[in-house]
Amino acid sequence: MTGFALGAEQEEWCGQLRALAADRLRPLADKGEPGRVNRPLLAALGELGLLERVFTSGALELCLLRESLAYGCTEAETALALQGLGAHPVLASGTPEQRARWLPEVRAGRAVAAFALSEPGAGSDAAALALEAVRDTGGGADRDGGWRLSGEKCWISNAPEADFYTVFARTGEGPAAKGVTAFLVPADRLGLSGEPLDMLSPHPIGRLSFDGVPVGPQDLLGEPGRGFRVAMDTLNRFRPSVGAFAVGMARAALDATLAYTAARRAFGGVLGDLQAVGHRVAEMATRTEAARLLVYAAAGAYDAGSPDVPRRSAMAKLLATETAQYVVDHAVQLHGAVALQRGHLLEHLYREVRAPRIYEGASEVQRTIIAKELYR
């Protein structure tokens, strides 16, 4: 990429991804059951090598991947992103044994990963998490030096159907964020149970209960007391690409609106001839382009190792997700009642676009991060 313009090869790749999402992945997504892991879709993402790209790509390439998939199939984009979010801590902080056991399965779409950070009382304030890890003094030689996890996680994507969880628990080495440790917990670990939540989401979101779940040194992701850094490093990598997901949805809504208003006859012409409509579409396009450029800039800063990644990532996620909400909402308005019919692209996007303003740090949290970084 030169400046803020994509190169010819990047543009061609994005076009291929959009076509692949529409032609190959959309039919698999349509066959999936809402609120359940779509394993055939995951398998296709693995077969096509797209899951591999989540772990080998730089931040900019990951953004292009997520934006392009979101344009043609939001379910495929989300399935891919959740694999990355849940397994990136294993790649970045896991032991060789953990990586060898889980990453090939995740890349192939055979194992489902999940990122278990949020709790009933610790959503936006992630440092306030209460899942407790107590030293296990009576577990025998195989648990020597281990812990028992007790508590609850909530609003966890892919729960309770994931095959393993990246879990953040309080081990108490220090106050607040300084006393959090990250663990890799297989779904079949004794004492771990879960239940689905009925959410506005095509993928599963659930609650996890930890009833003295045993974990040992072999389950650590990084060092004790350093888990919050594992979480934030993961979120800093993925926040710009959440913005890319939003940009993909905004661009799909914008293109649908351009096509509709250029053809829909009303008041002696087409809708696009009306100044009010043209100005609205111009605003939608301008905001989408601004969000896209900010996402690419944040991703480029991450790839360059810039010290201002937290601020740029927060700005990118904030602007892109808020913009996507604006664009999709106005696209629905310009389409009228037809856009509210079940199965219409905009009806689908209207449901999908709301959640990214909340997860991986709500818009209000992003503003707080930006302000803190500015005053630092």
Q: Are the beta carbons of 346 and 335 closer than 8 angstroms?
A: yes
Please list, in sequence order, all residues whose beta carbon lies within 8 angstroms of the beta carbon of residue 142, skipping any fewer than 6 positions away: 216
Rounded to 5 degrees, φ, ψ at 137 are -105, -5
Find tokens 């396009």 and name the residue.
285
- Phi and psi at 333, nearest 5°, equal -60, -40
The residue whose two tokens read 């689905």 is 196
Calpha distance 187→165 (Å, rounded): 7
Structure tokens that stand for 291 in this block: 């969000």
Residue type, 258: L
Helix (H, G, I), strand (E, B) or coil at 207: strand
Q: Tokens for 56?
A: 């080998």
Verify cis geometry, omega within 30 degrees of 0, for the bond prior to 160.
yes
Type of residue numbered 280: R
Indicate the Cα dihedral angle 365, 370, 373, 375, nearest 10°: -110
> Helix axis angle, 345-352 relative to 227-263, nearest 10°?
150
113-116 and 164-170 beta bridge pairing: parallel
Q: Is the preceding peptide bond at 196 cis, omega within 30 degrees of 0? A: no
Name 170's bridge partners.
132, 180
Residue written as tokens 């959503």? 123
**DSSP H or E run through 195:** strand 192-196
To the query of whether residue 360 is one of the catalytic residues in this protein, the response is yes
Choice among 161, 360, 364, 373 that is catalytic: 360
Please give the Cα distance from 174 to 327 (Å, whole number): 44
Task: Tell me which amino acid residue 372 is.
Answer: K
H or E element, residue 318: helix 309-335
Annotated catalytic sites, by residue?
A: 360
